[in-house]
Amino acid sequence: MAVQLDAQLLDILACPCPEHAPLSVGTPDDPEADFLTCTSCGRSFPVRDGIPVLLLDEAVAPSGDSAG
């Protein structure tokens, strides 16, 4: 199921990373996923019960991201 958020709310929401970039619905691999993905850093944030969880600790790193 795709994220169902008001368009005005989606325009206001931004990634909590230092870039504060806009968010897009879904993930790069699954546009229907219940996530919002940062257009800058690529982190994906879960949407639970219709509420975006915009916490860096809850974010899923981009699949090509490597630590080190």
User: Structural domain tally of the chain?
Assistant: 1
Residue 7 binned pLDDT confidence (cut-offs 50, 70, 90)? confident
Residue 39 lies in a domain: yes
What are 12-62's pLDDT values in tens digits?
999 998 989 999 999 999 999 999 999 999 999 999 998 999 999 999 998
Residue corresponding to tokens 């230092």? 18
pLDDT of residue 3: 77
Residue 43 lies in a domain: yes
Top-confidence residue, 53 or 3: 53
pTM of the model: 0.85
Domain of 36 in residue numbering reads as 7-58
Residue 63 lies in a domain: no
Residue 64 lies in a domain: no
- Give the chain as a 3 state SS string: CCCCCCHHHHHHCECCCCCCCEEEECCCCCCCCCEEEECCCCCEEEEECCEECCCHHHCECCCCCCCC
| CATH number of the domain enclosing 52 | 2.20.25
Look at residues 23, 31, 25, 22 and name the one whose alpha carbon lies nearest to residue 4.
Answer: 25
Residue 31 lies in a domain: yes
